A and B are shown apart, each in its own frame.
Chain A
């Protein structure tokens, strides 16, 4: 299931603006990799290039390559829609579809791609909600709107929706930044469970969160506002937080800036 991600010499542009410069990294399968760094350092942008979602913003483009196992997701004959079916994403703010019920939200990815078999859909919905630790809370109101759930529940609903299409990789863009500590804990527990099945990349501003959930950490920084973000250092989370090789990493992690 889970795939390994190889990023090589990647530059990301929005129009003429270079947002991320010269990133080379490897994300291991069945592990959690955290992207940390100050605002504007390009970590979210880099995350969005891993499922080609940056392309929906006008002018978004990349140079360099991103491989999922052996497949280049930027090869000329690759359909970005197919990439996004393989690489799922969870966003900063919970965004369930307001016109759909809880059950329909989870089934959305399958149904909007043409799956009609009700039995299969129902099974998928239950399995995904169970994986997202949400089944017991919503099983009696699957046909109620998703907007009626709490913020933390909505975010777990979005995770269920993302894993219902059976992606290989799960990208999470600050998934807890709009949530209270208890909901955050629920999501973090969930991330630790899901990493046995998926390759997970999580962007976070919360250093403790990176330390708690991730196996490996990548630190990004930018020289100045308006300059592109760069990967400063990447390594095992343990080592990154106790004994980083770069001075800026240490300064950032210890709270001296950012």
Chain B
């Protein structure tokens, strides 16, 4: 028996005796105090965490919310409109953000999900460890580095023009690790018993993964993809380097630059004139709303596809 054990034992004995002497109704005041203290600390931490969140939402909605109520905001672009004039809309930037996000997801989700399948279902030994390590590194890459890498590849090495597709490539680099990690976690949650049940029916491994494992993990995978999307939709560095702002509607991913909400915010953020300032806050509010809607939609999809109980 160690010294600590002995002292713990004697503590226990004195507690027992104390309990016997004063009866069962006795409640340790020190313990109650510690309990109260812990409660206060946790509530304070919660409140501190909520302050910036509420503050951000409040400033964005109070300063930019009214822009969203104007129907032109959703139908017009900023074509021909200067920072002195009220008017115009953000439809060019909204469309641009959605198009680039979808294109990025189109490339990143298959790669990410299949990488996760490899890591969970097939990966053994060194290669799997290396892949997992790479994904970790990719997670930590700052967005500006991803953007510079694609710039060096796309413009310097290949000599192409800057186009929106290059932006998508950079965003893809940022989205893949998020999708891999979240999908991996979800696939690990699928009980092995389900895989074995399928194998025992003579179902090949690939069919088991496609028809049993993936459907079971579906809602979690959707959530992960949405997290990734939310991250890249607000990403600005790749856009600044690879796809600067334009005021016109542009939708061709390979034919030039596409304006987006983050670059729209960046464009006017140093202006002092009220119309431009309003547009900055309006674009910010729109971006938050867009991500919110996307999350709700994803949750709905996840719920519809989830196992029913």
**Nearest B residue (CB) for A99:** B215
Contact-residue size bin, chain B (C-beta under 8 Å from the other chain): 20 to 34
Please tell me if B196 contacts chain A, counting CB pairs below 8 Å: yes
Q: With a CB–CB cut-off of 8 A, which chain B residues contact A207?
A: none
Render B189-218 as a binary contact track against A, CB cut-off 8 A, 1 for contact. Answer: 001011111111111100110011001101
Q: Are A158 and B204 in contact (CB under 8 A)?
A: no
A109 with B201: in contact, given A58-B124, A147-B309 (CB under 8 Å)? Answer: yes
A97 with B200: in contact, given A91-B193, A145-B307, A148-B309 (CB under 8 Å)? Answer: no
In the complex, what distance in Å separates the CA atom of A113 from the CA atom of B205? 11
Q: Are A97 and B197 in contact (CB under 8 A)?
A: yes
Q: With a CB–CB cut-off of 8 A, which chain A residues contact B194?
A: 95, 97-98
Chain A nearest CB from B142 CB (Å) reads: 37
Q: Are A95 and B197 in contact (CB under 8 A)?
A: yes
In the complex, what distance in Å separates the CA atom of A145 from the CA atom of B191? 17
Q: Are A109 and B203 in contact (CB under 8 A)?
A: yes
Q: Are A85 and B202 in contact (CB under 8 A)?
A: yes
Of the residues A109, A145, A161, contact of B309 by C-beta under 8 Å? A145
Q: Is the interface of B mostly helix, strand, loop or mixed?
A: helix
Among B198, B202, B215, B309, residue most surrounded by chain A Cβ atoms (within 10 Å):
B202
**Nearest B residue (CB) for A144:** B308
**Nearest B residue (CB) for A161:** B201
Q: With a CB–CB cut-off of 8 A, which chain B residues contact A53?
A: 196, 199-200
**Nearest A residue (CB) for B202:** A85
Please tell me if A89 contacts chain B, counting CB pairs below 8 Å: yes
Of the residues A84, A93, A99, contact of B202 by C-beta under 8 Å? A84
Quick one: which of B206-235 are within 8 Å of A by CB?
A: 207-208, 211-212, 215-216, 218
Quick one: which of B136-177 are within 8 Å of A by CB?
A: none
Q: With a CB–CB cut-off of 8 A, which chain A residues contact B307?
A: 98-99, 145, 147
Chain A nearest CB from B2 CB (Å) reads: 28
Render B72-111 as a binary contact track against A, CB cut-off 8 A, 1 for contact. Answer: 0000000000000000000000000000000000000000
Q: With a CB–CB cut-off of 8 A, which chain B residues contact A217?
A: none
Chain A nearest CB from B249 CB (Å) reads: 42
Q: Are A56 and B202 in contact (CB under 8 A)?
A: no
Please tell me if A112 contacts chain B, counting CB pairs below 8 Å: yes
Q: Are B201 and A88 in contact (CB under 8 A)?
A: yes
Q: With a CB–CB cut-off of 8 A, which chain B residues contact A84?
A: 199-202
Q: With a CB–CB cut-off of 8 A, which chain A residues contact B207?
A: 112-113
In the complex, what distance in Å separates the CA atom of A112 from the CA atom of B202? 9
A113 with B309: in contact, given A91-B197, A95-B194 (CB under 8 Å)? Answer: no
Chain A nearest CB from B222 CB (Å) reads: 14
In the complex, what distance in Å separates the CA atom of A208 from the CA atom of B14? 50
In the complex, what distance in Å separates the CA atom of A147 from the CA atom of B308? 8
Q: With a CB–CB cut-off of 8 A, which chain B residues contact A97?
A: 194, 197-198, 212, 216
Chain B nearest CB from A160 CB (Å) reads: 12
Q: Are A81 and B204 in contact (CB under 8 A)?
A: yes
Q: With a CB–CB cut-off of 8 A, which chain B residues contact A112?
A: 198, 201, 203, 207-208, 211-212
In the complex, what distance in Å separates the CA atom of A187 from the CA atom of B119? 38
**Nearest B residue (CB) for A171:** B200
Q: With a CB–CB cut-off of 8 A, which chain A residues contact B203?
A: 81, 108-109, 112-113
> 9 new A-B pairs (CB below 8 Å) besides A91-B193, A97-B198, A113-B207?
A81-B204, A84-B200, A84-B202, A98-B307, A99-B216, A109-B201, A112-B198, A113-B203, A145-B309
- A-B complex: 3 closest residue pairs judged by Cβ atoms: A85-B202, A109-B201, A98-B307
List, sorted by A's number, 23 A–B pairs whose CB atoms are closer than 8 Å. A56-B195, A56-B199, A81-B202, A81-B204, A82-B202, A85-B202, A89-B196, A91-B193, A91-B197, A95-B197, A97-B198, A98-B194, A98-B216, A98-B307, A109-B202, A112-B203, A112-B212, A113-B201, A113-B203, A147-B307, A147-B309, A158-B197, A162-B201
